[in-house]
Amino acid sequence: MDALGRHILVEFYNCSPELMNDVVHIENSMVEAAETAGATVINSTFHHFSPYGVSGVVVIQESHLAIHTWPEYGYAAVDLFTCGETVDPWVSYNFLKEAFKASHGSSMECRRGQQSLLKRTDFTVESRDTGQVVAPIPTITRDVWFTERDENIALSLKHSGNQLYKKQSPYQKVEVFETLAYGNMLTLDGMVMCTQKDEYVYHEMITHVPVFSHGNVKKALVIGGGDGGTVRELLRHEAIEEVVLVEIDELVIEACKLHLPETASAFNHPRLNLLVADGIQYIQDCPDAAFDLIIVDSADPVGPGEGLFTAAFYAEVYRCLTSNGIMITQSESPRFNTKVFVEIYDTYKSIFGAEKVHCYLAAIPTYPTGTWSFSFCSKGEVQPKNFDQTAAAAFSRSQGLRYYNEDIHTAAFALPNFVKDLLSSKA
């Protein structure tokens, strides 16, 4: 060969859009393409971006293979760069064309480092024989990353490359990844819902704050919450006679039973009434004053949860509460989704009255910005800071809670000035 390396610039067209958004499949295919061509793989690093797209590189002893995908176009841009004569990059090209189910591809081969243009210099590296056995090439290191991002901010979590669950329901794509730092992670349409290591923060705060504030919850309703964490925490309270869970997507329940069993541990509890149904329709059909506590444990306000963020829905929730009832929702991050955060609270105030709507915060590492908010809306005279601190403290200790306690209950309602300013705005 009259050059140091061969570089093929590849365009794959009409690929499977689903495969172009599957970081596990792409990483496995790129590694196998390198090995099939006879390359020695050193490591791989791949990122999945939310809502779609994958970037990655496989470093080989002979150079590298790199890719970026545009699933919305069924398109992949690939670089295949090999040095020396032992690896044929066209073998990788043919392998990837089939692996990505591309209808066709185009390519351009460049010869890198033309020998006729190079002049060899005397370049030596001093070495010293230590008598030690030469270490073999290390085992391949494979870095596969899940990334949730918008235009301005991103969260990346490294996972094992082992995708535990992946199914498309009529409503959303349900996936579970095995992450290295946070254990198994549930995502819906590419957004993080919960992980084994930090789900307790969200679920303890969305439940125990309203239960202790109310002081006499007998019947509770959860809309959404198919991971099971919210009902698990509610059912710790023996005084609650019935918990109704209405989840629209049975695949969420299935995925969490299989791969987040600690979160989904209460699905067979005798005081739980589990319904796979539309939460909006359930609220519309619900009798007046049926529940002391209603928790809207929905995903972000996109996809199937979008109807849960309307004034008409919350007016129906208000009707379904007892005279002293409480509604709790997750209400986004005041920094990550500021516009929606403000709009949600303006909606609550128009229904419950401004003096009966309160915001409280919790620190959840795997949610965008790490600062997450919850709403507290009271139909009657319940005030969240007027609660039995002794009972809350005893409960926290006896149940082995990991986040909620009587001090956190009070402190969560102490808001930073920027959040106060947002809640007092008319945005």
Active-site residue set: 63, 68, 83, 297
Closest Cα partner for 31 from 143, 126, 134? Answer: 143
Q: Is 89 annotated as belonging to a binding site?
A: no
- Total count of residues recorded for the chain: 427
The beta strands (E) that lie in 202-271 are given as: 219-224, 242-247
Closest Cα partner for 382 from 212, 230, 205? Answer: 212
**Main-chain dihedrals φ then ψ at residue 410, nearest 5 degrees:** -70, -45
Yes or no: say if 252 and 227 are a contact pair by the CB < 8 Å rule: yes
Q: Is 247 annotated as belonging to a binding site?
A: yes
Q: How far apart are CA 141 and CA 120, in angstroms?
A: 33
**Strand pairing report for 3-13 and 75-83:** antiparallel
Q: Is 304 annotated as belonging to a binding site?
A: yes
Q: Is 279 annotated as belonging to a binding site?
A: yes
Q: Is 203 annotated as belonging to a binding site?
A: yes
**H or E stretch at 294:** strand 291-297
Q: Which residue has the tokens 């692996």?
A: 99
Looking at this protein, which amino acid is placed at residue 349?
K
Yes or no: say if 338 and 422 are a contact pair by the CB < 8 Å rule: yes
Q: Is 298 annotated as belonging to a binding site?
A: yes
Q: How far apart are CA 299 and CA 333, in angstroms?
A: 13
Q: 223: which DSSP letter?
A: E
Closest Cα partner for 412 from 380, 386, 373, 382? Answer: 373
**Strand pairing report for 242-247 and 272-276:** parallel
Closest Cα partner for 282 from 249, 322, 244? Answer: 244
- Could you list the residues known to form a binding site for S-methyl-5'-thioadenosine, using ranges: 172, 247, 278-279, 304
- Could you list the residues known to form a binding site for spermidine, using ranges: 203, 227, 297-300
- Could you list the residues known to form a binding site, using ranges: 172, 203, 227, 247, 278-279, 297-300, 304
